[in-house]
Amino acid sequence: MQNQARTRAPLEQDMNAAAEAIDSTKKSKKPQVMRQYDLIERVKRYNPNTNEALLNRAYVYAMKAHGEQKRASGDPYFSHPLEVAAILTDLKLDDATIAAALLHDTIEDTETTRAGIDRLFGSDIGELVEGLTKLKKLDLVTKEAKQAENLRKLLLAIAEDVRVLLVKLADRLHNMRTLHFMPAETKRRNAEETLEIYAPLAGRMGMQEMREELEDLAFRELYPEAFRVVTERLEALAIRNHDLTAAIEQQLTKKLADRGIAATVRGRQKRPYSIWRKMERKSVGFEQLSDLFAFRVVVKTVGDCYHALGIVHTTWPVVPGRFKDYISTPKQNDYRSIHTTVIGPGQQRVELQLRTREMDEIAEYGIAAHALYKDGGGSPSEMLNRESNAYAWLRRTIELLAEGSNPEEFLEHTKLELFHDQVFCFTPKGKLIGLPRGANAIDFAYAVHTDVGNTAVGAKINGKIAPLVSELANGDEVDVITSKAQMAPPAAWESLVVTGKARAAIRRATRAAVRNQYAGLGRRIVERLFQRAKKEYSDEKLQGALPRLARTSIEEVMAAVGRGEMKASDVARAMYPDYREERAALIKPAPESGWFRLRRNRAVKFKMPVEKGTAIPIRGNNSELPVRFAPNGGAVPGDRIVGILTPGEGITIYPIQSPQLKDFEDSPERWIDLRWDVDERTPQRFPAQIVVESVNEPGSLAQVAQVIAENDGNIDNIRMTRRSPDFTTVTIDLEVYDLKHLTAIIAQLRAKAVVANAARVNG
């Protein structure tokens, strides 16, 4: 006791000095700042063994560190961390978290350092304070990037210690309570961020009371007129129904007591934002809402919950479709309760929530209800790993950090997870899968396993074949049909799914597929070069040359060659230092059939040097390679084709007679020999372009279109130019099967009296 007295002596002096500084606020009409004794008493109500010396030390240290700093309201800055700490005492948190709340702005806004915090308060509190400080030390270009990176940093900090989240939410709540002192732009930005991120995050952590207050504060700022109208009507309704609410509480309590169930019944009015959101979602007026009041029935045991439910349902008529059992299937945020709606006294719709005292505490405090302040429970993160489904959801969300290629992508994924209510579906083996409302069978497949999603080709919902895009309902049994033939999911799925996990997996698989395409293309280019150079190629030899290419894997080298970022000759030189590149000759068709001439210093006749099997096969738009056709003229089977490799874009296919090829004369390393690989059993159309000189008379265009239609051609686009009073030039983008098909269409067009000439455009 003597030691304790000696310890307190200097503290008392500092506290008295602090109190004198704070008392100066009494001269104004602003609220007085809470004293340290009040804070200690708040903690001792739920934790009699609190470390008073630690909290006193943190209180005085933070107050002195912030000194004369003021908030926008004019209050001492220290009032903010003190109010944050007070909010956390309502959540019954441990001493370290309360101390971290008092200190959470010291490193950022004062001369305090992490080392100083560690020395005075220990590394546990130091890590908490530093985790909160890191969130604000960002300098990013866009508001979206800053918001996304803040969320990313927050969740990473939470992964280390969940108490960072609790302090951050309390910090945001107090800032929202004092938002009216901030500039207009800051108020709106903070309100939007609160509604988009912090309120849903509090809800996902099961902290419903905090979520509702955050939503209402943001609602008041963003939609002041709607907030005023809804609030006024709720106040009028509360006054009008006061006696009815009290009567329902008394009747229900007595009914349950008569059957031997001790219950606490509390009526509560729904909050303004939740009512407004329901009005918006269902497009109804305030008067059309019939469930503005809810009653919580708190009993001792789970058995009492179901017993009370039976009593309620046999006493009052049940509203169909309004029963939900979150005890047998809890929400991901650990929420457990039975919801039902009945037609109660006075023919009033009454929503009832039946739960035990433990469930009620979790519903109110959420993730903080797992008694973080108790000794012997391990670290908060370890303990929550065992006890909290909400924290398990958070860890899965953090896994998405590795999936997004940029902060905005991660923000998108996380918002998808935050905003949706849930549906519960089952696998054929009975495993329960929770998904956001609006999810489809593709989302379900990815929730089971990423490989299941990537190879999904169909689904059975409740035993019946259904499209993968079918929206799922509560209780559906979903059997995903997979096929090993599907190597990657269609890229279009990304716009069809609603879960962040599915969207991230599809995006990742699409990127991998494109990378594999480039790697395959690069391998073919490299192997073809080695065949022409009569050099031996092997992966083992290339593996040893990787350091000279500044690449870490063979696949990375091949992908770089396929994208045009690296030349195949660079790979050859890395493997064979004595390799000398022979510049490829640009080839042009000569009048002799099957012969070409070299355009360099002199003309020479030679056979096109394409060895059997070295030309790369092309299947057109459905090719496995990243290919596209020349923008003007296209190419069709029957044309002799070459490819031009463009970095980052893949191969552009040109017919050999295209005049556009002259633009690439000085880049022979970009030329690639190609050949058609068309399956006659599955005809496919290819792009071509023709120019028709037609006579200016009524019906001429119709006759041109009729010829194309009768020959099974497809018109993709038409452009008309008046060349003279008598003639019009019509440029038509066509889709045809091959060169023979195209030639037949042109011949029949020339036979028409309204057509002066028709010819193919060769790009």
pLDDT band of residue 156 (cuts 50, 70, 90) is: low
Q: Where are the beta strands (DSSP E) in 656-712?
A: 671-676, 686-695
Q: Given this model, what pLDDT does residue 12 score?
A: 46
Closest CA to 438 of 212, 281, 214, 219: 281
Q: Given this model, what pLDDT does residue 353 score?
A: 92
Burial of 481 (0-12, 13-18, 19+ CB in 10 A): middle
110 has pLDDT over 90:
no
Q: Given this model, what pLDDT does residue 5 score?
A: 40
- Between CA 81 and CA 31 the distance in angstroms is 15
407 has pLDDT over 60:
no
Closest CA to 352 of 445, 421, 249, 259: 249
Does an H or E element contain 185, and which? helix 184-193
Assigned CATH topology for domain 420-498:
Ubiquitin-like (UB roll) (3.10.20)
Closest CA to 562 of 485, 672, 413: 672
Residue 724: Cβ within 10 Å count: 8
Out of 81-85, 130-134, 711-715, which region has the weakest mean confidence (pLDDT)?
A: 130-134
The encoded tokens of residue 622 equal 């459905």
Q: Which is the CATH superfamily of the domain at 2-221?
A: Hypothetical protein af1432 (1.10.3210.10)
Closest CA to 491 of 419, 529, 442, 553: 442
pLDDT digits (tens, 9 = 90+) for 300-335: 999 999 999 999 998 889 988 788 898 988 877 778
Residue-averaged pLDDT of the chain: 78
HSE, CB side, 13 Å, CA atoms: give it for residue 662: 7
pLDDT band of residue 70 (cuts 50, 70, 90) is: confident
Higher pLDDT, 584 or 496: 496
Q: Which of 140-144, 423-427, 551-555 is predicted most confidently?
A: 551-555
400 has pLDDT over 60:
no
- Which one is catalytic: 14, 52, 90, 108? 108
6 has pLDDT over 90:
no
Out of 157-161, 265-269, 504-508, 735-739, which region has the weakest mean confidence (pLDDT)?
A: 157-161
* Percent residues over pLDDT 70 in the chain: 77
Domain 686-760 in CATH 3.30.70.260? yes
Domain residue limits, the chain? 2-221, 228-369, 420-498, 510-575, 587-676, 686-760
Active site residue 124: no
383 has pLDDT over 70:
no
372 has pLDDT over 60:
no
Mean pLDDT (whole number) for 461-487: 87
Instruction: Estimate the crossing angle of helix 224-240 against helix 208-222, to 10 degrees.
Output: 120
- Between CA 691 and CA 688 the distance in angstroms is 11
| DSSP conformation letters of 460-473 | EETTEEE-TTPBP-
pLDDT band of residue 677 (cuts 50, 70, 90) is: confident
Decide: 96 and 128 in contact? Cβ < 8 Å.
Answer: yes
Q: Which of 336-340, 673-677, 679-683 is predicted most confidently?
A: 336-340
pLDDT band of residue 492 (cuts 50, 70, 90) is: confident
Classify strands 627-629 and 650-655 as parallel, antiparallel or unpaired. parallel
418 has pLDDT over 80:
no
- Between CA 98 and CA 89 the distance in angstroms is 7
In three-state secondary structure terms, 51 is: coil
Q: Look up the CATH number of domain 228-369.
A: 3.30.460.10
Out of 212-216, 362-366, 373-377, 573-577, which region has the weakest mean confidence (pLDDT)?
A: 373-377
pLDDT band of residue 593 (cuts 50, 70, 90) is: very low
Q: Given this model, what pLDDT does residue 460 score?
A: 92
Q: Given this model, what pLDDT does residue 354 score?
A: 94
- Between CA 626 and CA 616 the distance in angstroms is 12
CA distance readout (Å), 702 to 695, 708, 738: 12, 10, 24
420 has pLDDT over 70:
no
Closest CA to 495 of 506, 510, 487: 506
Q: Given this model, what pLDDT does residue 442 score?
A: 94
Beta-bridge partners for 637: 639
Q: How many Å separate Cα 119 from the centre of its chain?
A: 40
State the alpha helices, DSSP H only, in 420-468.
441-448, 450-454
Contacts of range 65-70, beta carbons closer than 8 Å, 24 or more positions apart: 65/106, 65/110, 65/111, 65/112, 66/105, 66/106, 66/109, 66/110, 67/110, 69/109, 69/110
Q: Given this model, what pLDDT does residue 453 score?
A: 92
pLDDT digits (tens, 9 = 90+) for 180-224: 888 888 888 889 888 877 888 788 777 888 999 999 999 999 999
CA distance readout (Å), 244 to 240, 284, 316, 354, 594: 8, 24, 16, 20, 97
CA distance readout (Å), 399 to 160, 162, 394: 13, 15, 9
| Cβ neighbours for 122, distance < 8 A, ≥ 6 positions apart | 96
569 has pLDDT over 50:
yes
- Between CA 294 and CA 42 the distance in angstroms is 30
- Which one is catalytic: 14, 90, 109, 403? 109
Higher pLDDT, 177 or 349: 177
Q: Given this model, what pLDDT does residue 290 score?
A: 64
- Between CA 380 and CA 384 the distance in angstroms is 6
CA distance readout (Å), 78 to 43, 97, 137, 477: 19, 17, 20, 55
pLDDT band of residue 699 (cuts 50, 70, 90) is: confident
Active site residue 716: no
Closest CA to 78 of 96, 61, 97: 61
- Per DSSP, 440 falls in state B
Out of 202-216, 573-587, 612-626, which region has the weakest mean confidence (pLDDT)?
A: 612-626
Mean pLDDT (whole number) for 121-144: 67
What is the 3-class SS of 109-123, one letter each residue? HCCCCHHHHHHHHCH
- Between CA 390 and CA 392 the distance in angstroms is 5
- Between CA 477 and CA 339 the distance in angstroms is 23
Higher pLDDT, 749 or 565: 749
